[in-house]
Amino acid sequence: MKKNKLKNNGFTLLEITVATSIFIILILAWFDFSINSYQSASFGQDQIEAIRLAQKGVDIMAKEIREASIAENGSYPLELAGDQEIIFYSDIDQDVYTERVRYTLNGTNLEKGIIEPSGNPLDYTGTEEITIISTHVRNDSIPIFTYYNGDYPYDTENNPLPAPARLIETKLLHVFLRINIDPIRAPKDFDLETDVQLRNLKNNL
């Protein structure tokens, strides 16, 4: 009678197997949840950092474009005015001489190229120093740079300026960047934009 009682109070092999399986499933579920939570937090932090760098880059770009001026070789302040690329001359390092500055979208990177004036007479035939200003730019076909004349916003017929008129008529520039480190995951796109008035080209004073 005593042996039968002990036998009845024990666990069968099936019960042990089921309990072990449930325990393993719970452990795996917890592990998967922990990994996903960590990845989500890391992804969110990476997105914040990408936005911070982009904002810093846009602020610097706006300041440099605002001070665009005649080049050391006499070239007009704007050399190229494209949707995804702009070339201009500006004294970006406060050394009295104007540098040739180029911002362009290369894949998903916004790059900055600088050529210091050199030679006698001064010209811009030296090596271009290129740095990455912002990563994870998702503008695709949306222009980074949009150009307006001095009569904007009253003149809506001629604005935004078409490509042939941009170099000479541009007085105001709109900069737009869309940032997202992974478009197929949340969070959604983050848009950065600002307007820049070219001080040395103003004609409405």
Q: What is the pLDDT of residue 73?
A: 96
Burial class (CB in 10 A: 0-12, 13-18, 19+), 197: middle
Q: What is the pLDDT of residue 32?
A: 62
Amino acid, single-letter form, for residue 159: N
Joined together, the tokens standing for residue 72 give 């050391």
Tens digits of residue pLDDT in 32-91: 665 555 455 455 688 889 899 999 999 999 999 999 999 999 999 999 999 999 999 999
Cα–Cα distance, 87 to 94 (Å, whole number): 18
Q: What is the pLDDT of residue 197?
A: 94
Q: Is the pLDDT of residue 93 over 60?
A: yes
In a domain, 28, yes or no: no
The number of distinct structural domains making up the chain is: 1
CB neighbours of 76 closer than 8 A, spacing ≥ 6? 70, 167, 168
- Which sign does the torsion angle of CA 141, 90, 166, 205 carry? positive
- For residue 70, what are the domain limits? 42-201
Kindly report the pTM of this predicted structure: 0.77
In a domain, 24, yes or no: no
Residue 180 near residue 47 (C-beta atoms within 8 A): yes
What is the pairing mode between strands 129-134 and 109-115?
A: antiparallel
Q: State which H helix or E strand residue 129 sits in.
A: strand 129-134
Joined together, the tokens standing for residue 85 give 């690329």
Tens digits of residue pLDDT in 150-193: 999 999 999 999 998 999 999 999 999 999 988 887 668 899 99
In a domain, 3, yes or no: no
Cα–Cα distance, 175 to 198 (Å, whole number): 13
Cα–Cα distance, 140 to 144 (Å, whole number): 9
CA 91 to chain centre: 24
Q: What is the pLDDT of residue 107?
A: 94
Task: Please give the DSSP secondary-structure letter assigned to residue 149.
Answer: -
Cα–Cα distance, 190 to 47 (Å, whole number): 9
In a domain, 9, yes or no: no
Q: Is the pLDDT of residue 138 over 80?
A: yes
Q: Is the pLDDT of residue 102 over 70?
A: yes
Tens digits of residue pLDDT in 118-137: 999 999 999 999 999 999 99
User: Between 8 and 160, where is the model more confident?
Assistant: 160
In a domain, 87, yes or no: yes
